[in-house]
Amino acid sequence: MLSKLTDFFQILILSHFGWGLEEGVVIPQTIMTLIAISSLLVNRDSRVIYLVIIWIIFAFLAKGSVDPMGFLNDWMFINVPFFNWFREPLVFQMVQTVPFALLFGVTISKVYSILDRIEKPQILIFKIVLSMLFITIIIWSVEPAFLMTGAYGDPKRSYLASNYIPTDYYQILQWLKSQEPGRILMLPQYSLMMYTSSTYQGVILRDSSLPLWGDYLAKLLEDNKTHGIAKFLSLYNVKYVVLNPPEDIYWIHYSKPYSYFYSVLNSTPGLKLINIGTKGGKVFINEFTQPPVRTVTKIGLLVGNKADMMKVIEFSNLQEWVFQFANDPSSILNLEDYSAIIFGENGGITDLLVHMVDECYKIPLWEYASLWNIKETSKWVLGYPITPNLLKEVIISPKGLLANPSPNQMARMSFEFSVPESTMYEIWLRLGTGFSSGSITIVIGGKEAGSITVPSDTGLKWMKAGSIQLEKGSVQIQLLGNGQVFLDMMVIVPKYVFKELETSISKIINSKSYTLDEFINTIALNDSLEEHYSIQWVRKRPTSLYFRFANASSGYLIFSELYSPLWLLKSKSYESRSTIAYGLINMFVINSSDLEGEIEYIPQRFVDLGVYISIFGSVLSITLLVLSLRLHRSNFSRMK
């Protein structure tokens, strides 16, 4: 009976395909492996032995990112092209589904064989119920894994979706390695690595279907061809910008319509926009110049601080967004952006910036607030953190056009923020020039902090508005616009930061080679701009990245994946759990001389449970195996 119980336990585990398939859950795969191997050592039908062998082989081929087979399997997929074939969707489903479909039949037969030994008429009902239960378990387990709906309806939890590495990626990777170093800036749909030109062929940004990478790229390529984009492209001698597919450019959030991004790239001499892919096993390149056209027809506006006060406003022209301040009906803000400003109850801009993407309006805005960790509105302005332990500067992004309601009135924008420390601050504004006219005055705490007249240049330009001594605590900011002034961003930086980095600042601000955004990243890493881009990344698997610094670093490392406290940076002598940065992505504090390390997604809430299950399951399976072998030996001796 104990042997049959062992047999039942083994088949039950093997046939429950859903165990551990949710992305991020620590999987006790060791249990399944030990049980499968133990099945070969006990006396059983040959068909079960064959099926178990098939399962072990197929699991090895298709589950490359799962321990205990992952370390060898990863190496094989990267270095042996033949194994890429097993990551094709159809093949992947076949090698996963076929053995488990066969094991399902064996499972039912094993259950029946056990129940047949119970001589009671009521057992028939139990057989039917148990069979239905097994069928339900199999369907429930396999459906989210292979139909890519994902556990709980979340596609990201689909095992196939999260672990599938397309063959196209490896072919494109080989093509990239054959090109002249430093010639390609790539934004592909599938890319699992991020390179720098110091080692490979430019910069490969991962998965542009995330709005995150579009925002990051926009910061690199902002302003105009004589500003950040020229410096970045010339720094790495980039000759091609790859967009795959072309529609991915829509995800780039910029203060102008996304067609502007195309116009900037197209106006850069010697630069080509290309679409890269594979066909028939060969890499192909298509050059294109026209952006795709999409329209967004709805936007959510949070009138109050409570989620139940959300309204949906219809609009037809992205150039004519008009919103009414909650506390001042006569004050109007015209937006020329892909962003919606959310106003607090007092009319101040106190919450966050919502990126308008394809179907963003289908997601309730309060879910964004939860996702972006908006807790204390006084410390968050449009989703950007202003706590002193981050970058020691306050970033405010009103993103709007200050327009006069009437010829004799000043356009007003006011909000409250928290001053991180008592010191002298410098105020910088990024203004839209050429399409703006007039002046803007900054009033902080009732005192005038500076005034700027908008120049006639074309584009976005950083300008110093003035300096002011601020004390730690809350303070009210008022922006007074006279005329039509487009304000893209406002940065308040402690003056000592400028003094400490006087040389770097003068180079960044005064020369047209750098942008202030790049300066902020420089401060974040306590490093030069070149050092910032000399971090080498290799994505080992979907939830693990290897990184290496060119030089020993300390400061902050911005990791551009959607924020989760479960990301963990590990090196030989240091560990750092992720904290939220810019209201959306991850930031790690680097305080080590280690040149290399790894960033892993560690679902802490499952770690302890997974460890306990693995230990218990391993001990139980080994115990059952030993008892099964002893019982088998006893039966064999009795037969002799």
SS3 at position 460: strand
When the pLDDT of each residue in the chain is averaged and rounded to a whole number, the result is: 49
CA atoms within 13 A on the CB side of 142: 17
Name, in order, each residue with C-beta under 8 angstroms of 71's C-beta and a sequence gap of 6 or more: none
The residue range of the domain holding 547 is 535-604
Q: Which of 47-56, 292-301, 531-540 has the lowest mean pLDDT?
A: 292-301
Strand order in the sheet with 202-204: 202-204, 184-187, 240-243, 272-279, 282-287
CA distances from 513 to 25, 130, 227, 395, 510 (A): 46, 71, 5, 22, 9
**Rounded Cα–Cα distance for residues 323 and 488 (Å):** 17
Bridge-based pairing of strands 202-204 and 184-187 is parallel
Residue 249 lies in a domain: yes
| Co-location of 149 and 231 in the same domain | no
Among 75-84, 338-347, 427-436, name the most confident range. 427-436
**pLDDT given for residue 440 in this prediction:** 82
Mean pLDDT over 249-265 rounds to 39
Q: Are residues 68 and 205 in the same domain?
A: no
Angle 77-81-84 from CA coordinates, rounded to 5°: 55
Mean pLDDT of 242-270: 42
* Nearest partner of 200 among 187, 217, 183, judged by Cα: 183
Q: SS3 for 311?
A: strand
pTM of the model: 0.27
Residue at 511 is within a domain:
no
Closest CA to 599 of 640, 638, 549: 549
Residues 154 and 174 in one domain: no
Q: What is the pLDDT of residues 524-570, one digit of tens each?
A: 333 332 333 344 555 444 456 666 665 555 555 655 555 566 677 88
Q: Is residue 16 part of a domain?
A: yes
Domain co-membership, 23 together with 108? yes
Contacts of 178 (CB under 8 A, 6+ apart): none
Are 570 and 535 a contacting pair, CB within 8 Å? Answer: no
Q: Would the pLDDT of 49 be above 50?
A: yes
Structure tokens at 506: 């003068």
Is pLDDT larger for residue 504 or for residue 640? Answer: 640
Q: How many CA within 13 A on the CB side of residue 369? A: 23
> Do residues 229 and 115 share a domain?
no
Residues ≥6 apart with Cβ < 8 Å to 564: 578, 586, 601
Give a yes or no: residue 211 inside a domain: yes
Q: How many domains does the chain have?
A: 4
Q: What is the mean pLDDT of residues 72-82?
A: 59
Predicted confidence at residue 439, as pLDDT, reads: 81
99-148 pLDDT, tens digit each: 555 555 555 555 556 566 655 666 666 666 666 665 555 554 444 444 43
**Residue located via tokens 């292979």:** 146
- Are residues 349 and 493 both part of a single domain? yes
Report the CATH number at residue 480.
Answer: 2.60.120.260
Residue 616 lies in a domain: no
142 and 211 part of one domain: no
pLDDT at residue 598 is higher than 70: yes
Stretch 325-348: mean pLDDT: 28
- Which among 500, 518, 550 is the end of a domain? 500
Residue 331 contacts residue 343 (beta carbons within 8 Å) = no
Pairing of strands 423-444, 353-355: unpaired
Domain check: are 278 and 303 in the same one?
no
Q: Is the pLDDT of residue 469 over 70?
A: yes
Residues 6+ apart with CB under 8 A from 212: 560, 561, 562, 584, 585
Provide the 3-class DSSP secondary structure of residue 436: strand
User: In angstroms, how far is CA 495 from the centroid of its own chain?
Assistant: 33
Q: Are residues 366 and 496 in the same domain?
A: yes
Residue 451 has pLDDT above 80, yes or no: yes
Residue 144 forms part of a structural domain: yes
Confidence of residue 92 (pLDDT cuts 50, 70, 90): low
197 token code pair: 């030109």
Whether 185 is in a domain gets the answer: yes
Is 50 exceeded by the pLDDT of residue 64? no
Q: CA distances (Å), 495 to each of 95, 238, 467, in order?
A: 62, 36, 8
Q: Indicate whether 175 and 143 sit together in one domain.
A: no
Structure tokens at 39: 């099945």
* DSSP summary character for residue 405: S
Is 619 a domain residue? Answer: no
Judgement on whether residues 328 and 417 belong to the same structural domain of the protein: yes
355 and 281 in one domain? Answer: no
